[in-house]
C-alpha cells in the first residue's frame, strides 16, 4: 500500500478519497486553487499545496503543477477523483513518466473509451450490444442524413467526444436533420474541439442503467447495476441500486457484457459501463445497449457501496498499489436497496440555474447509522459555494432492506437537511421522493420533464412558519428560556424583513402574538416544541449570519432589512445583468451598436449549459462591461444600453 497519495481534485470527492486513505493509514496531500484556500478538503488533508488561480484551467486542470506538487511532497500516487483530469490520457502519461502511479486505468484504456464512436466499434467487436446507429468516419452532411434515414427517425445526434449531454440533439423528422446537425457539430467543436458526431436510434422511453465494473488489468468483476434514469436534461438527479424491476437473468446478461467490455481493454480500476434500456419494452435480457464507458470513479458510486458493503476507493488504492482484485465475482452480493440524491445550490424556479452563496447554516441528518444514512460533502457551515465550480452541496445516500424503506429514508434524510445562505434544489428532491410513479419504480429519463410543473410547484406560503421566523428575527426565540420566548425586549415592536413586515407582541411567559397582513397568530412554546394557533409545529428556528430560518416541512428564510444595502444596489435602466454565476463565452455587440428587443447580446456558460442573453428592448449599446473568458457572479452587469429618451 502507498504511504502517501495526492488527490488532484476538490469538493466532496476529494474529501471522500481522504476518508478512505485515512482509514487505510495512507497520508494525503490536497491541492487547491486560490478560491479553495479555506475549503474542507484542504483542512482534512495532512498537507495541502496551492496550485493556481480559481479557474480550473489555472489550477485543477494543470497537470504539470499537480505532478510537481506530488513530487515535492513525496506522494507516490495521484487520485484524480471525477471530472477535471480524471479521463485525460495525456495526464496519465505525464504522471507515469514522472515515476508516479495514476490511481485509475491506463492511458490506453482511457483513449480507447474516450471517443464514443471508437468505443462503440470496439464494443461491437467484443460482442457487447450497442445502440443501433451510425458511428463511422464519413462526416459528410448528406451521408449522415442518409444514415439517419436508414436508422429511422427519431434519431439522436451525439458528439463523439461529448460528455455531460453537450453536443447532443434529438431529431424527430428528416427535414429538421440538417439544422440539428449543424448546431450539434458547432457545439461539439466549441466544447470539445472535435466536431465529429455519431447518430443513434433514439430510444423513446429510455432507462439509463449502468454497471459498475472493477479490474486489475488481468481480471474484471462487476458490482451490479445502478439505475440513473431520474435525469433532468441528461443530468442525473437521483440514482439507485439495484434497478427497479431488474430480473436475475437480465442482471447476469448486463453484468457479463460489462465485464466483457472491461476485459476487452485490459481494464484496471473502477469504471462504469453505461447502457440504455427501452422502458417501453420492459427489462429483457436482450433489451439493453452500450452507450459509453466512463473510465473513472462515478459520482454515484456510493449506492453501489451501500448495497455491496464494499469501499470502492479502498479497492482503487489496493489495485493501484499492485494488489490483485480483492474479490471474485461469486463473493459479491446485493444487500437491500440504496438511493443517492444530489443536493445542489441551484435556483429551481429560475430554471435550475446554478447559485452561489455563503452557507450561513448547514446541518445534515444524523449519521449515527452510516449503513442507513451517509452524507458526502465538501462544504461546512460558513463555507461559500463559489461560481468557479459545480455548485454541489452534498450527496445524500440512504440504504434500507427494501426499496420502499430506502426511499422513505431518503425522504426523511432530505427533510432533516438544513441549508441557509443559498437557494437549493432540496424541495425539488423531496418532491421527487414523493412522486407516486417513482415510488412504484416506474422510472425513465423523461419522468422529470413530464411532471416538472408539479415537481417544482412552490409550496403555499406557510403563515405559521413565517410567524415563527418573525420571532427568530426579533431574537425572541430561545428554547432555553422560560416558555421559549425571552421577555426582556420591548413587548410590542414592528419587525421588518426584505419582503414584508409584521407586528410582534410578547404577551407573557411562553406566549407571543405575530400579526401578518392583518391576521394574528398566537405562538407558544410548550413541552419542548413550538405551537402556532393551538397546533404543534415540527419546527427549528435558526438564527444565522444571513438572517433567520425556520426548518421543518420545508425551509423558510427571512433576511433582515438592511437600509444601507439598498442604496448602493440601484442599477438604473438599460443594464443586462448576468442571471447566474458563469463564464462569458461570447459577446455579440459593441458600443454604439443599435439593437432591437430580442437581439442576441451574449452567451453565458454555466453548469455545462449555454444560456443566450438577449436585449430586453430596442436601444443603442452604451457600454460592454464584460469580455469573453470572464468569470462573472450572478448580478454582474454585462451590457448597458443608452437611456431611453422620453
Query: Taking CB positions, which residue lies at the least distance from Mg ion?
Result: 274
Of 287 and 484, which has the nearer Cβ to ligand ADP? 287
Tell which residue, 366, 422, 428, 365, has the closest CA to residue 393.
Answer: 422
- Please state, in angstroms and rounded to a whole number, the distance separating the CA atoms of residues 79 and 102: 6
Q: Is the dihedral of CA 416, 421, 425, 431 positive or negative?
A: positive
Segment lying near ligand ADP (by CB under 6 A), choices 122-130, 160-168, 217-225, 450-458: 160-168
Q: Which of 40, 296, 374, 540 is the catalytic position?
A: 296
Q: How far apart are CA 561 and CA 500, in angstroms?
A: 9
Q: How far is the CB of 559 from ligand ADP (least distance, A)?
A: 29
User: Taking CB under 6 A as the rule, does residue 589 contact ligand ADP?
Assistant: no
Rounded CA gap, 149 and 155, in Å?
9
Residue span 380-399 as binding mask against ligand ADP, x where in contact by CB under 6 A, dash where not: ----------x---------
Instruction: Please enumerate in sequence order all residues whose Cβ is within 8 A of that of 68, keeping only pairs 6 or more positions apart, or say none.
Output: none
Q: Any idea how long the chain is?
A: 646
Residue 206 sits in the site that holds ligand ADP (CB under 6 A): yes
Binding pattern to Mg ion, positions 270-289, x when CB under 5 A?
----x---------------
CA atoms within 13 A on the CB side of 339: 32
The DSSP secondary-structure symbol of 281 reads G
Residue 187 interacts with ligand ADP (CB under 6 A): yes or no: no
Query: What does 311 interact with, of ligand ADP, Mg ion, none (CB < 5 to 8 A by kind)?
Result: none
Exposure string of 428-442, with b = 16+ CB inside 10 Å and e = fewer, is: bbbbbbebeebeeee
Cis (ω within 30 of 0) for the bond into 113? no
User: Site residues for ligand ADP, window 317-356 (CB under 6 A)?
Assistant: none
The residue (of 234 and 482) whose beta carbon lies closer to Mg ion is 234
In Å, how far are 83, 179, 190, 373 from 195, measured between CA atoms?
21, 14, 8, 43
164: partner contacted, choices Mg ion, ligand ADP, none (Cβ within 5-8 A by kind)? ligand ADP
State the DSSP code for 15.
H
When CB distances are held under 5 to 8 angstroms depending on the partner's kind, the choice from ligand ADP, Mg ion, none that residue 361 binds is none
Cβ distance to ligand ADP smaller for residue 343 or 512: 343
| Residue 83 binds ligand ADP (CB under 6 A) | yes
165 binds, among Mg ion, ligand ADP, none (CB under 5 to 8 A by kind): ligand ADP
Q: Which is nearer to ligand ADP, 288 or 315 (CB)?
A: 288
How far apart CA 52 and CA 67 sit, in angstroms, is: 13
Q: In what order do the strands lie in the sheet with 133-134?
A: 133-134, 197-201, 155-159, 169-171
Q: Is 296 assigned a catalytic role?
A: yes
CB of 182 to ligand ADP, least distance (A): 20
Crossing angle (nearest 10°) for helices 177-192 and 141-151: 120
Residue nearest to ligand ADP (CB): 83
* 275 sits near ligand ADP (criterion: CB under 6 A): no
Integer CA distances (angstroms), 126 to 56, 262, 273, 289, 534, in order: 37, 10, 14, 13, 69
Stretch that binds ligand ADP, among 180-188, 194-202, 546-554, 626-634 (CB under 6 A): 194-202
Q: Which is nearer to ligand ADP, 254 or 615 (CB)?
A: 254
Residues 366-385 that bind Mg ion (CB under 5 A): none
By a kind-dependent CB cut-off of 5 to 8 A, residue 446 interacts, out of Mg ion, ligand ADP, none, with none
Name the residue with cell 429514508: 409
Q: Is 409 in the site for ligand ADP (CB under 6 A)?
A: no
Residue 84 engages ligand ADP in binding (rule: CB under 6 A): yes
86: left (phi over 0), alpha (psi -120 to 50) or beta: alpha
Q: Does 231 bind ligand ADP (CB under 6 A)?
A: yes
Q: 317 by DSSP, 3-state: which?
A: helix
For position 58 contacting ligand ADP by CB under 6 A, the verdict is: no
**According to CB under 6 A, which residues from 556 to 575 bind ligand ADP?**
none
Does 129 help bind ligand ADP (rule: CB under 6 A)? Answer: no
> What does the alpha-carbon distance between residue 302 and residue 310 come to, in Å, rounded to a whole number?
9
| Pairwise CA distance, residues 433 & 399, whole Å | 14
**Number of residues forming the site for ligand ADP (CB under 6 A):** 29
- Interaction site with ligand ADP (CB under 6 A): 56, 82-84, 131, 156, 158, 162-165, 200-203, 206, 208, 231, 234, 236, 274, 276, 291-292, 294, 298-299, 390, 445
Amino acid at each position: 500500500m502507498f504511504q502517501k497519495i495526492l488527490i488532484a481534485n476538490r469538493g466532496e470527492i476529494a474529501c471522500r478519497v481522504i476518508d478512505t486513505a485515512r482509514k487505510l493509514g495512507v497520508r494525503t496531500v490536497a491541492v487547491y486553487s486560490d478560491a479553495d484556500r479555506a475549503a474542507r478538503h484542504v483542512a482534512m488533508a495532512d498537507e495541502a499545496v496551492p496550485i493556481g488561480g480559481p479557474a480550473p484551467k489555472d489550477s485543477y486542470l494543470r497537470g504539470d503543477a499537480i505532478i510537481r506538487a506530488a513530487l515535492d511532497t513525496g506522494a507516490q500516487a495521484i487520485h484524480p477523483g471525477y471530472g477535471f483530469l480524471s479521463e485525460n490520457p495525456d495526464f496519465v502519461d505525464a504522471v507515469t513518466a514522472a515515476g508516479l502511479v495514476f490511481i485509475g486505468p491506463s492511458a490506453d484504456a482511457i483513449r480507447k473509451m474516450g471517443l464514443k464512436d471508437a468505443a462503440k466499434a470496439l464494443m461491437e467487436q467484443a460482442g457487447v450490444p450497442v445502440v443501433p446507429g451510425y458511428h463511422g468516419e464519413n462526416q459528410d452532411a448528406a451521408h449522415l442524413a442518409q444514415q439517419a434515414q436508414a436508422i429511422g427517425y427519431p434519431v439522436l445526434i451525439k458528439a463523439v467526444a461529448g460528455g455531460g449531454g453537450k453536443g447532443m440533439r434529438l431529431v424527430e423528422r428528416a427535414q429538421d436533420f440538417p439544422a440539428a446537425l449543424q448546431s450539434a457539430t458547432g457545439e461539439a467543436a466549441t466544447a470539445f474541439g472535435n466536431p465529429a458526431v455519431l447518430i443513434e436510434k433514439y430510444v423513446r422511453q429510455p432507462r439509463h442503467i449502468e454497471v459498475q465494473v472493477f479490474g486489475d488489468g488481468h481480471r474484471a468483476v462487476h458490482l451490479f447495476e445502478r439505475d440513473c434514469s431520474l435525469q433532468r436534461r441528461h443530468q442525473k438527479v437521483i440514482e439507485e441500486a439495484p434497478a427497479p424491476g431488474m430480473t436475475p437473468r437480465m442482471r447476469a446478461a448486463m453484468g457479463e457484457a460489462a465485464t466483457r467490455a472491461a476485459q476487452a481493454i485490459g481494464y484496471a480500476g473502477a469504471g462504469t459501463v453505461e447502457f440504455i434500456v427501452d422502458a417501453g419494452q420492459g427489462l429483457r435480457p436482450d433489451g439493453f445497449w452500450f452507450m459509453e464507458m466512463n473510465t473513472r470513479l462515478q459520482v454515484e458510486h456510493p449506492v453501489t457501496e451501500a448495497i455491496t458493503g464494499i469501499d470502492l476507493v479502498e479497492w482503487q488504492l489496493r489495485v493501484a498499489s499492485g494488489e490483485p482484485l480483492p474479490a471474485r465475482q461469486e463473493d459479491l452480493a446485493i444487500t437491500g436497496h440504496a438511493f443517492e440524491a444530489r443536493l445542489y445550490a441551484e435556483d429551481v424556479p429560475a430554471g435550475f440555474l446554478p447559485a452561489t452563496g455563503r452557507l450561513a447554516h448547514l446541518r445534515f441528518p444524523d449519521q449515527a447509522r452510516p449503513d442507513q444514512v451517509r452524507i458526502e460533502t465538501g462544504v461546512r457551515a460558513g463555507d461559500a459555494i463559489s461560481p468557479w465550480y459545480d455548485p454541489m452541496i452534498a450527496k445524500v445516500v440512504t440504504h434500507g432492506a427494501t426499496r420502499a424503506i430506502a426511499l422513505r429514508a431518503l425522504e426523511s434524510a432530505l427533510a432533516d437537511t438544513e441549508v441557509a445562505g443559498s437557494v437549493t434544489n432540496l424541495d425539488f428532491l423531496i418532491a421527487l421522493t414523493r412522486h407516486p410513479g417513482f415510488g412504484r419504480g416506474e422510472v425513465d429519463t423523461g419522468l422529470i420533464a413530464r411532471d416538472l410543473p408539479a415537481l417544482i410547484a412552490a409550496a403555499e406560503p406557510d403563515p405559521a412558519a413565517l410567524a415563527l421566523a418573525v420571532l427568530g428575527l426579533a431574537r425572541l426565540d430561545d428554547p432555553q428560556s422560560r416558555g421559549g420566548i425571552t421577555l426582556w425586549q420591548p413587548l410590542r415592536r414592528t419587525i421588518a424583513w426584505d419582503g414584508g413586515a409584521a407586528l410582534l407582541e410578547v404577551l407573557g411567559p411562553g406566549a407571543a402574538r405575530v400579526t401578518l397582513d392583518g391576521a394574528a397568530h398566537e405562538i407558544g412554546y410548550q413541552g419542548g416544541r413550538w405551537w402556532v394557533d393551538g397546533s404543534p409545529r415540527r419546527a427549528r428556528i435558526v438564527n444565522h449570519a444571513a438572517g433567520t430560518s425556520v426548518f421543518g416541512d420545508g425551509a423558510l428564510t427571512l433576511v433582515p432589512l438592511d437600509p444601507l444595502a439598498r442604496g448602493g444596489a440601484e442599477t438604473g435602466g438599460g443594464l443586462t445583468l448576468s442571471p447566474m454565476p458563469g463564464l462569458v463565452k461570447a459577446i455579440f455587440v459593441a458600443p454604439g451598436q443599435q439593437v432591437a428587443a430580442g437581439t442576441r447580446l451574449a452567451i453565458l456558460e454555466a453548469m455545462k449549459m449555454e444560456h443566450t442573453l438577449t436585449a430586453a428592448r430596442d436601444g443603442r449599446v452604451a457600454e460592454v462591461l464584460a469580455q469573453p473568458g470572464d468569470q462573472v457572479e450572478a448580478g454582474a452587469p454585462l451590457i448597458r444600453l443608452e437611456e431611453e429618451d422620453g
